Structure 1
Amino acid sequence: MHEFSLCEGIIKQVLKQKTILPEDIVSINIAIGELAGVDIDSLQFWFPVVAAKFQLADVKLKIDIIPARVICKSCNTEFHLQKLFDPCPVCSAYANYDFLSGRELLVKSVSAK
């Protein structure tokens, strides 16, 4: 159900933009980090339901996945983190890293007629 409220937030954010009329919106393009804690299937399921609630039933949701990139605080190695708390591939330190990408959820663009 978390994804339902995310869909509401995405649509409300888009509707705040006064440069485009709601009836002209064709698609909303977002980017989600692969470790952002968002269930993509659930988000795609709920989006049409929420869009219809805002009279945007024909609007499509396009999703790009941002890979999780981190830098190890122990050895300064930058690597792709596939699962939260995986060890560094160089020094084997666990969960001792800073995220560079992969935890965000961004509205990238809105396509209109």
Structure 2
Amino acid sequence: MHEMAICESILQTLQQEAAAQGFSVVRKVRLEIGPFSGVEVDALKFGFDVVTKGSLATDAALEIIETKGTAWCLPCAASITIKNRYDPCPTCNSHQLQITGGEELRIKELEVD
């Protein structure tokens, strides 16, 4: 379950930012996660609660902002939205797509004291 390692990395980032910016408590963490990031959101939520227990983010709320998967179709040059990485272009049915969005996994915003 690599989501636990992701949560540990998030906590490490929070600790580094707390030291750099002088806050001591994290109230909310907003993560932006794309459908092609390879992250299981429910496992990430569980892991976040486990990893942050006893830390500066003990009672922090975790908010997930799910982004859309987007791609550019090489044959018809359309910018499209897709649900799955290997979906065909809805315009021309081609599978020659360049993924342009949906691979994100980043801390979007923090609420701190």
Is the TM-score greater than 0.5?
A: yes
**Letter of the structure 2 residue corresponding to residue 105 of structure 1:** L
1:27-68 deviations in whole A, cap 9, x for unaligned? 111100122111001111111100015453212211100101
Identity over aligned residues, as a percent?
27
* Alpha-carbon distance in 1 for matches of 2:54, 2:4: 12
Q: Does 1:61 align with 2:62?
A: yes
Counterpart position of 1:85: 86
* Alpha-carbon distance in 1 for matches of 2:11, 2:62: 10
Query: Secondary structure at the residue paired with 1:43?
Result: helix
**Letter of the structure 2 residue corresponding to residue 27 of structure 1:** K
1:51-98 deviations in whole A, cap 9, x for unaligned? 01545321221110010111111211111111121111122111x212
Q: How does 1:1-113 map to 2 (within 5 A)?
A: 1-17=1-17, 18-21=20-23, 23-52=24-53, 54=55, 56-94=57-95, 96-113=96-113
* Alpha-carbon distance in 1 for matches of 2:91, 2:53: 49
Residue pair 1:20, 1:112 contacting (<8 A) in 2 also? no
Question: How many residue pairs end up in the alignment?
Answer: 111
**Letter of the structure 2 residue corresponding to residue 10 of structure 1:** I
Residue pair 2:15, 2:56 contacting (<8 A) in 1 also? no
Q: Which consecutive segments of 4 or more residues in structure 1 shift more than 6 A?
A: none
Query: Secondary structure at the residue paired with 2:110?
Result: strand
Structural RMSD (CA) = 1.4
